[in-house]
Structure 1
Amino acid sequence: MKVQTPDWVKHAVFYQIFPDRFAKADPPSGCYIPTATEFEPWTSPPTPQGYKGGNLWGVIEKLDYLQDLGITAIYLTPIFQSACNHRYHTHDYYQIDPILGGNEAFAALLDRAHAREIKVVIDGVFNHASRGFYFFNDILENGPHSPWLDWFRIEKWPLSAYDGDRPANYVSWVGNRALPQFNHDNPEVREYIMQVGEHWIRQGIDGWRLDVPFEVKTPGFWVEFRDRIKALNPEAYIVGEVWKDAAQWLDGRQFDAVMNYEFTGPTIAYVAGDRVIRELVEFHDYDPYPALNAEEYGQKILELLNLYPWEIQLAQLNLLDSHDTPRMVTLASEDLPSLKLAALLKMTFPGAPCIYYGDEVGLNGGHDPDCRKTFPEPSEWNRDLHKMYQDLIALRHHYPALRTGNYEILLAQDSLYAFLRTLTDAEDVIIAINAGEQPEQLTLDPLCPNPKTLELKYGDRTTAQSLTSQGTTISFELPPRSGCILANP
């Protein structure tokens, strides 16, 4: 069958927001947000259960900032009513959490983001709910007399929803009794989730990021979900959280893409090398170690690009870190050049780059909850890093080849990696990386029709000063731990 993914995703730059930690603002007059004297101080270290009080009105106030950065799409981690700061414990799939501003704030966010041509994708937690979810709560109250027993997988009685010294007696996600798992084989459950998906598409969201979709084993479930979502909006984006080979879900009948951790791991292993702090990632399901040289990295990239159809590759969600992982800069022993090189590779790779909030200003963090710190005040920003992100995003928007052009490796040797993105005979963009500790002279034969017109668009002026061409060959110098972009005017 012909594989088709949303066109807008191929040109998008995403920004992932953890709503409790990104921004907060007072609601407009007449709009109510529950306030608490026990919200944690905004600048104090985050805790597993404490709220900072971030809200969607705060996100709205930051839209100008995001637009100035070059962002064209937002991915929001869960926003439905819940009793936890990350909101993966859903209470009500039809209500935006009141602490975030409720349905009114979300409607305003959609309107104002769309007015800036910024798309909004939200998190769908459809594998499990919470102890506070109406149908499960009814079971806790009424036991075997509840009419909703078959919505979940009850094993025996009595249920123990809170006492860890006794068996829970119901199936929950990874054994966490706070997250009772749906019985997706039940047609009523299936229809409920389908209608939730449709409802928010009708409200104007631009897609769904699906949490742990590989846990849903019911045959045809995600096929139906796609069919019903695409019937309402063929350009809606459906992206799954699958950390490894996702070919079984990327067959053109289910997801448009996945969170591309298969890009994340090798990229960090190449640019950060032995700087990677292994104890920060050894329990995560991606591979930023052992260190890779350029040849090994190139082989990983070729394997990845051969894994899925090109139409899928152009819609993949490419990331360096997320709310589920340590921040990349911390993972790389706080080495900023590692982050900069990885950002360069991400912004020039096929697929949609996604920035985890705060990465662009140097926000660091280790294990959860440390990777979910609040967005820092401007006085604490790394301005050089912010400008780098702004420049790279602008170049991605400017050159179509960086979005949909072919990807060809030109050099992969020792610490040096270079590749060509080309869309037409008239547009060639070369990206080169020196991940080593010494300056290096590169000589490339990209077979460009006009190599003499290539100019430095990003990188050190040493590279611009050393750039020469002879026939179809170009030569230039790369300082240590640096990268560049060369392109036609």
Structure 2
Amino acid sequence: MIDLTSIYHRAADNYCYLFDEETLHIRIRTKRDNVLEIVLLYGDQYEIVDHQWITSLQPLEKIGSDSLFDYWQVAIKAEHKRIRYGFILKNTEQEMTLTEKGFFSFIPEDSGFFFCFPYMHKSDVFSSPDWVQQTIWYQIFPERFRNGDPLLNPAHTVEWGQEEPSLTNFFGGDFQGIIDSLDYLQDLGINGIYLTPIFLANSNHKYDTIDYFTIDPQFGNINLLKKLVEECHNRGIRVMLDAVFNHCSVEFLPFQDVLDKGEKSLYKDWFHIHKFPLKDGDTINYETFGFYEYMPKLNTANEEVKQYLLKAAAYWIAECQIDGWRLDVANEIDHQFWRDFRTTVKAIKPDLFILGEVWHDSVSWLRGDQFDSVMNYPFLHKSLQFFSYDIISAHQFTEDLTTILHSYSDNINQVLFNILGSHDTPRVLNECRFRKERVRLLFTFLFTFPGTPCIYYGDEIGLDGGNDPGCRKCMPWQEEQQDLELKDYIKTLISIRKETSLLTSKGTLYFLPAVNNCLAYYKQKDNQVVFVLINNSDTEIDYVLPFSLSGKKINLLLTQQEYAAESDELSVTLAPYESNILSFYI
């Protein structure tokens, strides 16, 4: 029997969405291996001939399975841009029809019973800036990247790299150091940099903003930032800054005014204050980021606060021509603020990239009215579980990734901000327990998976470091301190990604059955295929590709080999902890 309790569909978000202005993607979820066939019945609700609703039928494709469910999808082009639809589900024992009004053993004749997508408006297509899909990001923690101008050093600056990073020490990284390193970044293949906060703050991390309109003098000034952005743009590199709008520093002047004047302060409603005085012994009477009393939480629903922060966001776009904002602790700020934020910044620069920091399911921020993307921490956590921690198998990993992929539309998956670590997590080398072969596997996966990949500075040359602040070491610039073999491998991956358009184009990713912990997946467009094999095991693997390839030209992109398949069945041999990326036409 068909398990009706496991079937799920809603006419919104990742289950029914505009893929482009002419194409509607419709998905449905069923119990794994329970349904053999699904057909979409659909039509224009107003198209009625002789009192009968005119409908069409189109089969759905099973596009993925996780441990519990199968996921099915179909692409529909509606002539009149409106559609009513339902699902005919079949297995060997039963046939049922699912409509908005429930399950039926027959097909209802009234179009009003069916799911509705009222109209395909072009403005409702989820779209991010065109350039984002082609971007290779590089995250820079400015204080630790490079000291280009010692005259800017804060008091008591430590000589570069001569101490372990702490919560309080400074090493003098600045804008000039980044400018001096652009040749390095360009050679690596980077075309987008993301800078953690650069505005006036007392800390080395700058997430405690004192003044949203002032560059911290340890980095330089606005003219130097303009020069940095201009130099980047001349090299085809985009620049994204970090906006900390959830909270500020206790030194932020409006908060100081509240400390000074209490209930009489004109700024008391700028914050979430429970009662006065703001501090009573060890108890603080205002809300903060986490439980850090030096970072009071801003009341972004307050109109004055909102206008102040939106003015700051607009100012740096107009003044310095930045290309994106990364939004810190974005999930703790009200949705209306982000809607107004999007309207404000897109009015100035329509192709500005808006990236939210959300560590969990993010659909409610990705409906086209707030963010263009989010940092893909679910991708990071699952990747580490498989490649680094050895706590899940390749089979479970493919199921878990399938769940993540089907949490979003194809449009969103293509621009999710994929990471292997950040300033908030241990270094990828540490996570892999210094097994460099595992690091290589992780980077292979990063650069062949849907989304835009980001490298945390130094990971490409084997920089190590544990939990914050250990993950914020100074970038070593002497080649003898760098893992040049790893760097060259990552350069190769970046080059492959840039030269293989299928890796960055929209489309479905298909996982294949794992063989002895060897991960296999591919993307296909028309007759072109890119196939990825990653052997996360200590034994040699022979993987047989599920395509008829006799006489076809096969390109092994990582090893830069090319040959013609001699028979329909092609077997690829992978050494322990080895990967390869194949490109061919079928």
TM-score, scaled relative to structure 1:
0.90
Matching residue's letter, 2:533: A
Partner of 2:445: 345
How far residue 140 of structure 1 moved from its aligned partner, in angstroms, is 1.9
Equivalent residue for 2:521, pick from 419, 430, 433: 419
**After superposition, where does 1:254-403 map in structure 2 within 5 Å?**
254-274=370-390, 291-376=391-476, 377-403=478-504
Give the conservation status (yes or no) of the 8 Å contact 2:553–2:565. no
How far residue 135 of structure 1 moved from its aligned partner, in angstroms, is 0.9
* C-alpha distance in 1 between matches for 2:162 and 2:440: 26
* C-alpha distance in 2 between matches for 1:154 and 1:222: 22
How far residue 405 of structure 1 moved from its aligned partner, in angstroms, is 4.9
Give the number of the structure whose alpha-carbon radius of gyration is greater. 2
Matched, 1:54 2:173: yes
Give the conservation status (yes or no) of the 8 Å contact 2:553–2:563. no
Which has the higher mean CA deviation after the structures are superposed, 386-395 or 370-379? 370-379
Higher RCO, 1 vs 2 (CA within 8 Å, ≥6 residues apart) = 1
Gaps of 5+ in 1: 275-290
Matching residue's letter, 1:166: D
Give the conservation status (yes or no) of the 8 Å contact 2:273–2:287. yes
How far residue 46 of structure 1 moved from its aligned partner, in angstroms, is 0.6
Partner of 1:216: 333
Give the conservation status (yes or no) of the 8 Å contact 2:323–2:353. yes
TM-score, scaled relative to structure 2:
0.75
* 1:469–1:308 distance in 2 versus 1, CA, 3 Å: farther
Give the conservation status (yes or no) of the 8 Å contact 1:241–1:259. yes
Q: Percent identity between the aligned chains?
A: 37
* C-alpha distance in 1 between matches for 2:454 and 2:487: 15
* C-alpha distance in 2 between matches for 1:41 and 1:332: 26
SS in 1 for 2:389: helix
Matching residue's letter, 2:467: H
Matched, 1:442 2:539: no
Give the conservation status (yes or no) of the 8 Å contact 2:284–2:293. yes
SS in 1 for 2:284: coil
* C-alpha distance in 2 between matches for 1:456 and 1:405: 22
How far residue 475 of structure 1 moved from its aligned partner, in angstroms, is 0.9
SS in 2 for 1:259: strand
* 1:395–1:179 distance in 2 versus 1, CA, 3 Å: same
**Large movers: runs of 4+ above 4 Å:** 464-469
Gaps of 5+ in 2: 1-123
* C-alpha distance in 1 between matches for 2:548 and 2:337: 47
Higher helix share: 1
Give the conservation status (yes or no) of the 8 Å contact 1:410–1:446. no
How far residue 382 of structure 1 moved from its aligned partner, in angstroms, is 0.5
Give the conservation status (yes or no) of the 8 Å contact 1:466–1:476. no
How far residue 228 of structure 1 moved from its aligned partner, in angstroms, is 1.4
Equivalent residue for 2:182, pick from 59, 63, 66: 63
Partner of 2:36: none
* C-alpha distance in 1 between matches for 2:485 and 2:153: 38
Give the conservation status (yes or no) of the 8 Å contact 2:157–2:172. no
Between the two proteins, the alignment pairs up a number of residues equal to: 459
* 1:465–1:206 distance in 2 versus 1, CA, 3 Å: closer
Partner of 1:103: 222
How far residue 175 of structure 1 moved from its aligned partner, in angstroms, is 1.9
* C-alpha distance in 2 between matches for 1:185 and 1:397: 42
* C-alpha distance in 1 between matches for 2:327 and 2:548: 42
How big is each residue's C-alpha offset from its partner over 1:394-453, in whole Å with a ceiling of 9 and x where there is no partner?
11111111111532223324301111123342x3221101101100111011467x8721
Partner of 2:580: 484
Q: Considering only aligned residues, what root-mean-square deviation do their CA atoms show, in Å?
A: 2.0
Give the conservation status (yes or no) of the 8 Å contact 1:420–1:446. no
How far residue 170 of structure 1 moved from its aligned partner, in angstroms, is 1.3
SS in 2 for 1:264: helix
* C-alpha distance in 2 between matches for 1:446 and 1:6: 35
**After superposition, where does 1:459-470 map in structure 2 within 5 Å?**
459=559, 468-470=565-567
* C-alpha distance in 1 between matches for 2:312 and 2:526: 43
How far residue 457 of structure 1 moved from its aligned partner, in angstroms, is 1.2
